[in-house]
Amino acid sequence: MKKLIICDWNRTLYDPNNNCLFPDTLPFLEGLKNNILFLVSTNELNTSVPSKNPLISRYFKKIIVGQPKTKRLFLNIKKEFPTLEAWVVGDRIGSEIKAGKQAGCITIRIKQGKFSSEAPLDNSEIPDATVLNLMEAAEILRS
């Protein structure tokens, strides 16, 4: 069944510390290309703006850069595809996971890198699934 999948950029698909994609980013995207994929990034100053990267941009229906990851943003994305089950994939509990849950999305936290030790402050920040890498997330999304 086709899904709406909203992915975070920094520290989820892209490693800003090493200025490159995580090794499993392209296999993750390739394995999910039959779904509707959106990419969100708050960092418009990032030198690796995903919309300028043809390896990345071809997988996404839309790339949204420079907007905060809020309930409103995710609800607006969901409005475009109201019949699809909506998922949010990200590494930050307090931003993409919380906002995704508030918008009624199913959430997957990628527990890697700088924010891997973050803990939920309340129930609104508890992801539906927590994985260690993108390939684990892809398995959940394909099921």
Q: How many helices (H) and strands (E) does the chain have?
A: 5, 8
Residue 50: partners with Cβ closer than 8 Å, 6 or more residues away: 9, 13, 14, 39, 41, 56, 57, 60, 63, 65
pLDDT grade, residue 19 (50/70/90)? confident
pLDDT grade, residue 116 (50/70/90)? confident
pTM above 0.75, yes or no: yes
Class of domain 3-142: alpha beta
pLDDT at 45: 46
Q: Is 59 helix (H, G, I), strand (E, B) or coil?
A: coil
Residues, the chain:
143
Average pLDDT, the chain: 91
Domain ranges of the chain: 3-142
